[in-house]
Structure 1
Amino acid sequence: MIDVMSRDTETTRPAVPSRPAATCAPPSAGVLLPAPTPSFTHRVDERDVLVTRWWRRSETEFSFDLDWSGDHCFFDAAPGAAHSEMLVAQTIRQTGLLVAHAGLGITRSHEFLMDSMRYETHPHRPTAGRAPGPMTATAVCVRSGRRTLDIGITVRHAGGVFLTSSSRFGWVSKDVYRRLRGAYAAARPVPAPAPEPPALVGRRTESEVALAPAGRPGRWLLRGDTGNPALFDHAVDHVPGLVLAEAAHQAAYAFVGDPAFCPVSTAVTARQYVEFDAPCWIEAREVPTRRRGARAVEVVGVQRGRTTFSCVIEGVRSPAFGSGPVSGA
């Protein structure tokens, strides 16, 4: 399971005035819903809320205005990427949580567990390295079980679609969650080992690096809490799912070894929690792809000899680096 929960604590980032909301033309039909809050998006800081307005268009469909240009803490794109993978994942997460909480009435007293997240991005509609301007999204949700929800999301900017996703998550009561977690419910992060050089994994600072050297190619040690609020902005009892997704992207970037590597699809599947009390090894290997000139990398997490999650990332050569295949394709 990938957690999408939050136990809000104070943030160390200094307070600043709220940014004005980016707005688009409202949907042709729909009921404007209350303004998104950090609580409903499971963030601590208001600046990290990426949804500015949203509407209910039917029992199963919602529309959103998004703003990626604010003073949020999320990471920039890697050198060859057309989009920030962290902003993509946070957009999927936040819109899904809003639909669950405010749209479907699932209270904040529940804990959310994401089973899978898959998305594709368009390399020729880049948002990285520029102010992308207003964005809109639509979400269609289907209850696939009594406590599970499937959500499909489409995001547009500059007149076209650049992101599509599908994800599945469930929820349990806090009492059930405490029983499920047992002694781990009180677990907290341990100090992170020394990181890989940021440039090796496509990052800028050491606090952004989710991987530590493991002494052999294609293998790393997962760094738990690096102190960066983009990765951990609240107390948790296991490594958050979006930290695992970030670690997978960093591993794929390092494994390919080409700064022109531009991710175009990501598929994350969770199998069990990644705990703080034992090393979690991140391992990458090449897998087949049908996309011409592309490379695909499967990244898995292994803890106590068991696979905790898997992530397949497919990438092409960034249009910003010219035509041709990714190195090694």
Structure 2
Amino acid sequence: MPKTLLSDRQRHSHVVRRIAAPVQRLPKEFVHLHRTEAVLLTNWSSLGSGRYAVSARWPRGGLFGDSVQLLLAQTIRQSCLLIGHAELSVPLSHQTLMEWMDFSVASDFYDPKNKPDNLFILLTFRPNNPRSLRVDLSILSEGRLVAESLLDFSWIAPGAYRRLRGAHAEVPWGGAPVPSPVPAHTVGRSHADEVLLAPVRVPGRWELRMDVSNPALYDHRVDHVPGLVLIEAAYQAAHAVTGPGRGPVRVMSTFDSFVEFDAPCLMEAVVLPAKEEGTVRLEVTGTQNGERTFSVTMDCPK
């Protein structure tokens, strides 16, 4: 990275032209959102043999502000959900679960001058089993590959999901106190209401702030902390440790269990030996009730 995918671009040029213009309205239900302004995708098309093309438009400002990390993670999430529901017959009533997600970006991806407006996304879906898919995803801007992702997601019927969640299927919404944030600038954010980390007494550790009033992270009522919230919290922890100007070029996320709203989730960031020269590897883990709930490993440039 960066590299070009001109052969793919040329092979599917007719599809690019066909999906370049936005549809009148992409159903927000396909991407599990209530707010229309949160929908980043504009159209999609099947390429055959388990391959699909999606177009997206990143707004200037708006709900996600200028957070490239949030826009990228939402683009990946929305693209998978859209194709799952619109093309692969995943029922809208089923709960979808992200099991793990890896992605990498071009080294200049975070440069504000390179922030794209329109994106072209190629996705390949392969079944793991009847209720789980592996997705290989490439994001292009003007024919240049700017990001890649590999992830697994599965889905579960409503009744089975309620049995799985038990007492956590119905949780109080917004009633729990939210601890005060660390200073916004220390985690690369502009405003306190964007901060997901609360200080604790140990350096390199924080408590996760579960602030459901943040519309960019909590579009609608859910029964557990979404995976994208955990990835955003890991970004902020990495910024606190490595400092500004070191956006991760590779992110590897594993979700071990649900992060619940009824108990503190503690986070810790540890610097690991880097596998590549010129990078810093950081592992951010979350722990709740004494058990690891998620892990995000990031490679950041020195």
TM score, norm. by length of structure 1? 0.82
Change in CA separation of 1:196 and 1:207 when aligned onto 2, cut-off 3 Å: same
Which residue in the other structure is 2:4 paired with?
A: none
1-side partners of 2:211 and 2:296: how far apart? 20
2-side partners of 1:127 and 1:39: how far apart? 32
Shift of 1:133: 3.1
User: Would you say the 8 A contact 2:109–2:115 is kept in 1?
Assistant: no
Matched, 1:60 2:60: no
Matched, 1:242 2:232: no
Which residue in the other structure is 2:187 paired with?
A: 201
Matched, 1:153 2:143: no
Matched, 1:76 2:69: no
User: Would you say the 8 A contact 1:210–1:226 is kept in 2?
Assistant: no
Can you list the C-alpha shifts for 1:33-78, whole angstroms capped at 9, x where unaligned?
A: 975221111111111111111111114111111101256411423x
Matched, 1:293 2:278: yes
**Which residue, out of 10, 19, 35, partners 1:45?**
35
Q: In structure 1, the residue corresponding to 2:210 is in which secondary structure?
A: coil
Which residue in the other structure is 1:166 paired with?
A: 150
Change in CA separation of 1:27 and 1:105 when aligned onto 2, cut-off 3 Å: farther
Matched, 1:265 2:255: no
Matched, 1:277 2:267: no
Change in CA separation of 1:226 and 1:203 when aligned onto 2, cut-off 3 Å: farther
Matches within 5 A, 1:201-240: 201-240=187-226
Change in CA separation of 1:143 and 1:238 when aligned onto 2, cut-off 3 Å: same
2-side partners of 1:129 and 1:178: how far apart? 46
Change in CA separation of 1:139 and 1:72 when aligned onto 2, cut-off 3 Å: farther
Matched, 1:311 2:296: yes
Q: In structure 2, the residue corresponding to 1:262 is in which secondary structure?
A: coil
Which residue in the other structure is 2:86 paired with?
A: 102
2-side partners of 1:76 and 1:312: how far apart? 23
Shift of 1:129: 5.5
Can you list the C-alpha shifts for 1:224-277, whole angstroms capped at 9, x where unaligned?
A: 125110111100111111111111110111012x21212101011000011111
Once the two structures are overlaid, the 10-residue window that deviates more, 205-214 or 131-140, is 131-140
4+ residue segments displaced more than 3 Å: 24-27, 29-35, 125-131
User: Would you say the 8 A contact 2:204–2:241 is kept in 1?
Assistant: yes
2-side partners of 1:27 and 1:199: how far apart? 43
TM score, norm. by length of structure 2? 0.89
2-side partners of 1:168 and 1:140: how far apart? 12
Can you list the C-alpha shifts for 1:164-188, whole angstroms capped at 9, x where unaligned?
A: 0001010000100100011111113
User: Would you say the 8 A contact 1:69–1:132 is kept in 2?
Assistant: no
- In structure 2, runs of 5+ residues without a counterpart are 1-8
2-side partners of 1:123 and 1:286: how far apart? 20
Which residue in the other structure is 1:117 paired with?
A: 101
Change in CA separation of 1:126 and 1:253 when aligned onto 2, cut-off 3 Å: closer
Change in CA separation of 1:210 and 1:315 when aligned onto 2, cut-off 3 Å: same
2-side partners of 1:249 and 1:75: how far apart? 16
Change in CA separation of 1:127 and 1:176 when aligned onto 2, cut-off 3 Å: farther
Root mean square deviation, CA, Å: 2.1
Can you list the C-alpha shifts for 1:277-321, whole angstroms capped at 9, x where unaligned?
A: 1110011101122222210110000011100000001111xxxxx
Aligned length: 287
Higher relative contact order (CA 8 A, sep 6+): 1
User: Would you say the 8 A contact 2:108–2:114 is kept in 1?
Assistant: no
User: Would you say the 8 A contact 1:239–1:275 is kept in 2?
Assistant: yes
1-side partners of 2:77 and 2:293: how far apart? 20
Change in CA separation of 1:288 and 1:235 when aligned onto 2, cut-off 3 Å: same
